[in-house]
Amino acid sequence: MTRAAFGALLSHWWRNPLQLFTLLAGLALATGLWSGVQAINAEARASYDAAASTLDEGRYDRLVARDGGAFAQDNYIALRRAGWQVSPMVTGDLNGVRLIGLDALTAPSGMGPVSLGGGTDLGAFLTGSAQVFANAATAARLDGVEVLIADDLANDTAVADIGTAQALLGREGLIDSLLVMPDQPVGLPALGEVAPDLTMQAAQGGTDIAGLTDSFHLNLTAFGLLSFAVGIFIVHGAIGLAFEQRRGMVRTLRALGVPLNRLIGLMLAELLVFALVAGVIGVALGYVIAALLLPDVAATLRGLYGADVSGNLQLRPVWWLSGLGIAFAGTLIAGGSALWGISKMPLLAAAQPRALAMAAGRRARWQLVVALVLLALAAVLVFTADGLVAGFAMLGALLIGAAFALPPVLNAVLAFASARAKGVTAQWFWADTRQQLPGLSLALMALMLAIAANVGVSTMVSSFRLTFTGFLDQRLASELYVSTDSAEQTAALISYAETEGVAVLPIQSADVQIAGHPAEVFGTRDHATYRDNWQFLQSSAGAWDATFAGQAVVINEQLARRAGLALGDPVTFGSVTLPVAGIYGDYGNPVGQVVLVEDVFATEFPHVVARQFGLRISGDVGDFVNDLTAATGIGAGQTIDQAGIKAVSLAIFERTFTVTTALNILTLAVAGFAILMSLLTLAAMRVPQLAPAWAMGMTRAALGRLELLRAVMLAVLTAVLALPLGLALAWVLLAVVNVAAFGWQLPMYLFPLDYARLGGFALVAAVLAAGWPAWRLARTPPGDLLKVFANER
């Protein structure tokens, strides 16, 4: 019995290969989209983590040579003898691999191989025997060198004991920099006394990078979630149709004596086989997608955040499994409800139409209730969500609620149009469209989610870009940063800059507590740089005038949120109490900030002396540095070319767009495919519905045109509804999820042109998807149309 029944079930696909193809393709595309995004995300995260855990050198202050070059090891020995807690480092290039030499005994814990996992011969490393660590890919490029594999090291990076590294690099006795431990003994002799050729470089604040990288990952995760939702709807549609088409067969099988349980078991087995096949294809597809996009993602992250991301994709079992898991989960979720429907389907044909209509009505009502509950939940979460989980829950509630609400809303719109239609063709068209809606609704939901995802993600990324470029302009406004290490140098810098007509802006700060929160106070000089480049999230009129007049301060968003400060509220530290005149965005910074005019700062913190300066240079930065060194002895190692950093950052940030745009188009293409699939599978059922219209005098060409028009109209309606959903999505991502995750809100900008273009894409997708089925319908042989009447019972 089982074999005969299974054979009958499978014979359906043999006779209808197109349906089988659409089912498998739908499943595979959904899986591919999901696992592609996952792969990119996992790969980027893994590489970033490896890079971050290998060496977070940027966390420490360091001593470098004044001229920026290498210096002799004697300096290190002298400093150690004097009591300075410093650790030497040498870096260099070995066959294109960045080799880092560390001293394991003095290096801060958690750095380099000291924190590596099992298998590392710590003893050998500590005793300085020749050992080089690298991951497998990097090790392959270091032939001739004995390398120990440490897989959590970043790509293109090798770590060795400093002696080994010096030998390999041919730089015996030379050191590039000395890491300065955070806790130094009191009463140390001054740096200038022990090692006059060295200068102190302040820590880079690695948290900035981590914060922004995480934000980017969070965005990708959100996108993965969206692609999953789109995928589930597509799988649901494909499987629902596959079951719909075999309703009659299922009833016959049962009438002929196949027990319901057996039948359900067989169909479940069949589904799981499909899920496996489609899942494997989908994961492979995801790999291709990821492989095509990853070089850009890698470049984006590396360039933008300085995170070292390998451009090589690795086959990670995790995302193979998660891809297959999605294929199975999606199939089971979608197949579960279809199988449930079959188990509840009455055996007798006589009871069928009534029961079906009643079931459809019940389902529609049930969906509407779920939609309203979810949307209400999302609305409540707008006011109450304050964590990442709540943010994502809100995202989910909003999306699924909106998707479930789509069919009833479309139905209402069509009913409205239908009631106002004049002329018999128009009336028939609207009524017929309404009748088609149930069969198309899943594909339309997928389309709506895809468009909303596109609107949401591109709004978010574009807002992010605008904010970020604005922020770079604000923070890297000065073309050159210079640190000095003595009062004389400072004086020399200022007088040289004066003769050159270059503005010098001191950077001086003090740590304070404000309302119980740690914060930094910056003493700032009155200069157009601030007025021109700093963007306020909120400000009162003349905020900078008041600040530079010593009558107010401006603070960053983090402090405003944490201390609950609004415009006009007093801020108190030490003996100073001044009102807040403006709040500025300070992305990726964990600490609160207060900006104060320098005079008041100097009275309040008399012991703080500015040692870092921003210089506004109009000409070539390199030339200026050369002249500066010649005139004052301030070396290149004491300067940072901010203009250069900014240009590189901005150029590479543009690549984020390549990736997001590619993913966007991909999602839309998949949604378009879902529409094509539904229309093709519906086409067979359409013939009996169209035959009467044809018999009553409409030409087949006219019917085909109307089919196309219908699909396009439904797509346009869906796109119109998707726009507000997408904007809501972007708002949740920027204003709820990002705040929950990082403590700062990204301002939201609107991009009407982008949306119009997206709408255009959706339209093209709909026309492409509907074109072929409509064309086929227009060419239905009259015989097939006649058959409808011949077989009519």
Partner 1 sequence: MCYFNGMTLLTVDNLSKTYATADGPFAVLRGVSMTLEAGESLALTGESGSGKSTLLHLIGGLDRPDAGSILLQGQDIARLDDAGRAALRRGTVGVVFQQFNLIPSLKIADNIAFQARLAGRHDADWCAVLADRMGLTDHLRKYPEQLSGGQQQRVAIARTLAPRPALVLADEPTGNLDEGTAATVMDMMLELVAETGAGLLMVTHSQALAGRLQRRLHLRAGQVA
Ligand X SMILES: Nc1ncnc2c1ncn2[C@@H]1O[C@H](COP(=O)(O)OP(=O)(O)OP(=O)(O)O)[C@@H](O)[C@H]1O
**Residue 253 contact, options ligand X, partner 1, none, Cβ 5-8 Å cut-off depending on partner type:** partner 1
The residue from 20, 149, 210, 260 that contacts partner 1 (CB under 8 A) is 260
Size of the site for partner 1 (CB under 8 A): 30
Instruction: Return the number of the residue (315 or 357) whose C-beta is nearest ligand X.
Output: 357
Pair of tokens at residue 166: 């010096």
C-alpha span between 681 and 429 (Å, rounded): 20
Q: How far is the CB of 378 from partner 1 (least distance, A)?
A: 37
Pairing between β-strand 132-134 and β-strand 592-597 as defined by DSSP bridges: unpaired
Minimum separation from the CB atom of position 356 to ligand X (A): 12
- Smallest gap from Cβ 346 to ligand X, in A, equals 7
CB burial string 437-455: b at 16+ within 10 A, e below? bebbbbbbbbbbbbbbbbb
Rank residues 4 and 351 by Cβ distance to ligand X and give the closer one.
351
Q: Are strands 86-94 and 177-180 parallel, antiparallel or unpaired?
A: antiparallel
Task: Work out how close the CB of 355 gets to ligand X at its nearest, in angstroms, rounded to a whole number.
Answer: 7
Among 141, 247, 251, 700, binds partner 1 (CB under 8 A): 251
Shortest approach of ligand X to residue 347 CB, angstroms? 10
Give the one residue of 62, 236, 254, 562 binding partner 1; rule: CB under 8 A. 254
Strand partners, 612: 483, 507
Of the candidates 266, 267, 286, the one whose C-alpha atom is nearest the C-alpha of residue 327 is 286
Q: Does 182 bind partner 1 (CB under 8 A)?
A: no
Give the nearest distance from C-beta 273 to partner 1 in angstroms: 17
The answer to the question of residue 793 lying near partner 1 (CB under 8 A) is yes
Nearer to partner 1, 17 or 516 (CB): 17
List binders of partner 1 among 8-37 (CB under 8 A). Answer: 8, 11-12, 14-16
781 binding partner 1? (CB under 8 A): no
Nearest distance in Å: CB 351, ligand X? 3
Which is closer to partner 1, CB of 5 or CB of 472?
A: 5
Query: SS3 of 625, please?
Result: helix
What residue 251 binds from partner 1, ligand X, none (CB within 5 to 8 A, per partner kind)?
partner 1
Q: Look at residue 793 and give the partner it binds from partner 1, ligand X, none, a contact being a CB closer than 5 to 8 Å depending on partner kind.
A: partner 1
**Both ends of the chain: CA-CA distance in Å?**
31
The letter for the amino acid at 266 is L
Strand, helix or coil at 78?
helix
Of the two residues 360 and 426, which places its CB atom closer to ligand X in the complex?
360
- From the CB of 271, what's the least distance to partner 1, in Å? 18
- 324-327 contact pairs (CB < 8 A, 24+): 324/31, 324/276, 324/279, 324/280, 324/283, 326/30, 326/31, 326/34, 326/35, 326/228, 326/231, 326/279, 327/27, 327/30, 327/31, 327/275, 327/276, 327/278, 327/279, 327/282, 327/283
d(CA 86, CA 609) in angstroms, rounded, equals 24
Q: Is 247 in the site for partner 1 (CB under 8 A)?
A: no
Q: Is the Cβ of residue 83 or residue 259 nearer to partner 1 in the bound state?
A: 259
- Pick 83 or 361: Cβ nearer partner 1: 361
Give, as ranges, the residues between 125 and 154 that touch partner 1 (CB under 8 A). none
Considering the complex, state which of residue 241 and residue 676 has its C-beta at the smaller distance from partner 1.
241
Q: Is 4 in the site for partner 1 (CB under 8 A)?
A: yes
> Which lies closer to partner 1 via its Cβ, residue 15 or residue 344?
15
Query: At closest approach, how far in Å is the CB of 354 from ligand X?
Result: 7
Integer CA distances (angstroms), 63 to 97, 99, 176, 669, 686, in order: 24, 19, 9, 54, 78
Of partner 1, ligand X, none, which one does residue 347 interact with (CB within 5 to 8 Å by kind)? partner 1
Strand partners, 538: 583
Residue 660 and residue 457 in contact, taking contact as beta carbons nearer than 8 Å: yes
Residue in 256, 380, 685, 750 binding partner 1, rule: CB under 8 A: 256
376 makes contact, choosing from partner 1, ligand X, none, with CB < 5 to 8 Å by partner type, with none
Q: Which residues pair with 520 in a beta bridge?
A: 511, 593
User: Shortest distance, CB of residue 256 to partner 1, whole angstroms?
Assistant: 5
Shortest reach from residue 248's CB to ligand X, in Å: 18
Beta carbons of 390 and 384 less than 8 angstroms apart: yes
Residue closest to 533 by CA, chosen among 577, 458, 488, 479: 479
Torsion of the alpha carbons at 714, 715, 716 and 722, rounded to the nearest 10: 110
Nearest residue to ligand X, by Cβ distance, number only:
351
Using rule CB under 8 A, residue 360 touches partner 1:
no
**Residues 328-357 within binding reach of partner 1 (CB under 8 A):** 347-350
**713 or 788: CB nearest partner 1:** 788
> Does the footprint of partner 1 cover residue 689 (CB under 8 A)?
no
Minimum CB separation of residue 247 from ligand X in Å reads 17
Position among 83, 182, 185, 259 found at the interface with partner 1 (CB under 8 A): 259
Provide the token pair at 46: 């893994």
CB-nearer residue toward ligand X: 350 or 541: 350
768 binds partner 1 (CB under 8 A): no
Question: At its nearest, how many Å lie between ligand X and the CB of residue 793?
Answer: 12
For residue 561, give every residue at least 6 positions away whose Cβ sits within 8 Å of its Cβ, in sequence order, or none.
739, 743, 744
Closer Cβ to partner 1, 2 or 129, answer by number: 2
> Cβ neighbours of residue 167 under 8 Å, at least 6 residues apart?
130
Minimum distance, C-beta of residue 12 to partner 1, in the bound complex (Å) = 4
Question: By three-state DSSP, how is residue 539 classified?
Answer: strand
Cα 289 to chain centroid distance, Å, stands at 16
Does residue 258 belong to the site contacting partner 1 (CB under 8 A)?
yes
Q: Is 257 in the site for partner 1 (CB under 8 A)?
A: yes
Can you give the C-alpha Rg of the chain in angstroms?
A: 33
Nearest residue to 682 via CA among 776, 781, 767, 791: 776
Coil vs helix vs strand at 65:
strand
Which of partner 1, ligand X, none sits in contact with 607, Cβ below 5 to 8 A by type?
none
| CB neighbour class for 650 (10 Å; exposed up to 12, middle 13-18, buried from 19) | middle
**Residue with Cβ nearer partner 1 (4 or 528):** 4
Does 561 participate in binding partner 1 (rule CB under 8 A)? no
Residue 261 lies near partner 1 (rule: CB under 8 A): yes
CB of 17 to partner 1, least distance (A): 11
CA 301, 753, 445, 678 torsion: positive or negative? negative
Contacts of 509 (CB under 8 A, 6+ apart): 520, 521, 522, 523, 608
Nearer to ligand X (CB atom), residue 351 or residue 701: 351
| Site residues, ligand X (CB under 6 A) | 350-351
Looking at residue 134, the DSSP 8-state letter turns out to be E
- Position 786 contacts partner 1 (CB under 8 A): no
Which residues, at least 6 apart from 219, have a Cβ–Cβ distance to it below 8 Å? Answer: 457, 460, 461, 464, 733
248 binds, among partner 1, ligand X, none (CB under 5 to 8 A by kind): partner 1
Binds 541, which of ligand X, partner 1, none (CB < 5 to 8 A, cut-off by type)?
none
Kindly list the residues in this chain that would bind partner 1 in the complex (CB under 8 A): 1, 3-5, 7-8, 11-12, 14-16, 248-249, 251-261, 347-350, 791, 793
